[in-house]
Amino acid sequence: MKVRFLLDENLSPRLKVAILRLNPAIDIVRVGESNAPPFGTLDPDVLHYLELSQRLLITDNRTSMPSHLEEHWAEGGHIWGLCWVRPRIPIGQLAQELLLIWETTEAEEWIDQLEWIPF
């Protein structure tokens, strides 16, 4: 199965535009859109959404997400991957990194995996 992405609300909406310019077939939603969790959704609820929707989270939330992720796993939950965005990465470079993930991996490879991007 192809990787499907969820962009955290703290990331620029321009990132989704940049990714879809590279390949409009990529399945990507952003927190706050009608088919994604609403703005302000708490981390535990985002993690639950990821598990149900089989989406890989792209986030720069290094403050509260790690502890919520540990709790999620302790309760027996799973995620379809999480990529932390390194500070100050240009949007174009980040879009290229996500395209690379989409083109070269399968969603199942990301189950319960954590990664920093750029790699």
3-state secondary structure of 7: strand
Domain range list for the chain: 5-117
**Can you tell me the distance from the alpha carbon of 96 to that of 75, in angstroms, rounded to the nearest whole number?**
34
pLDDT one-digit tens code per residue, 41-51: 999 999 999 99
Residue 119: pLDDT band with limits 50, 70, 90 = confident
Residue 95: pLDDT band with limits 50, 70, 90 = very high
Burial-class residue 75 by CB neighbours within 10 Å (0-12, 13-18, 19+). Answer: exposed
Whether residue 30 is predicted with pLDDT greater than 90 in this model: the reply is yes
CATH class label, 5-117: alpha beta
